[in-house]
Amino acid sequence: MSVVLVDAGGTNIGSVRYALQRLGVEAALTSDAAAIRGADKVILPGVGAAAPGMARLQELGLIDVLRGLTQPVLGVCLGMQLLCAHSDEGNVDCLGLIPAPVRHFEAAPGRRVPHMGWNQLQAVAAHPLTEGLDAPAWAYFVHSYAVPVGDWTLATCEYGSPFSAMVRAGNFHGAQFHPERSSEIGARVLKNFLAL
């Protein structure tokens, strides 16, 4: 099985690679369109902001490549948000593969933004990606923008109100949390993705 990590400039690429290595998978880091198209599984990691992330994909000529993929794809953190339709962060159109908006968290007394740290997942749809995520399932988050709950939602998390912690549309999947930093639950999600 060939797995590639899209080299879109995300600062979490190294830690995602190490998490995959712990599962016995060597993932190539690439921005080569042919390598991405030819992989069995594609992971789009990302840490940063939506507008620079989309600009980087544009600069690399990868927007149409990613939109045309038919194999399982997993977006992680910003990578998940880039799979969506539009982000309020920089008011930018994203890849449009998951028909969801990305919105800024509302700050409130006792609830700071960014949402940072461990929080609980709640699987809301039966899907191979959520297999084994029985409560309590804790994952590690760092984000200021989130996807609301909708038809695309596989798992939710609560931070003032529920938001999508995991999403899916067709062969495109996303995890808002960092599986590479989420201990056994993160490893389980990565295993589940690799088994799709």
Position 187 pLDDT exceeds 80: yes
Position 190 pLDDT exceeds 90: yes
Report the pLDDT value the prediction gives residue 6, as an integer from 0 to 100: 96
Position 128 pLDDT exceeds 90: yes
Domain count of the chain?
Answer: 1
Average pLDDT estimate for 74-98: 97
**Per-residue confidence at 10, pLDDT binned at 50, 70, 90?**
low
Average pLDDT estimate for 62-69: 98
Report the pLDDT value the prediction gives residue 13, as an integer from 0 to 100: 84
Q: Please write down the long-range contacts of 14-17, taking CB distance under 8 Å and 24 or more positions apart.
A: 15/178, 15/180, 15/181, 16/43, 16/45, 16/76, 16/179, 16/180
**What are 43's strand-pairing partners?**
5, 74
- The catalytic residue among 26, 59, 77, 127 is 77
Domain around 64 = 3-194
77 flagged as catalytic = yes
- Report the CATH number that the domain containing residue 86 is assigned in CATH: 3.40.50.880
Q: What type of residue is 183?
A: S
Average pLDDT estimate for 83-106: 97
Any idea of the CA torsion for 47, 37, 174, 191, to the nearest 10 degrees?
A: -100
% the chain with pLDDT above 70: 99
Position 11 pLDDT exceeds 70: no
Q: Tens digits of per-residue pLDDT, 24-65? A: 999 999 999 999 999 999 999 987 899 999 999 999 999 999
Report the pLDDT value the prediction gives residue 47, as an integer from 0 to 100: 77
Q: Which helix (H) or strand (E) holds 169?
A: strand 161-169
106 flagged as catalytic = no
Average pLDDT estimate for 101-115: 92
173 flagged as catalytic = no
Average pLDDT estimate for 8-32: 89
Report the pLDDT value the prediction gives residue 12, as an integer from 0 to 100: 73
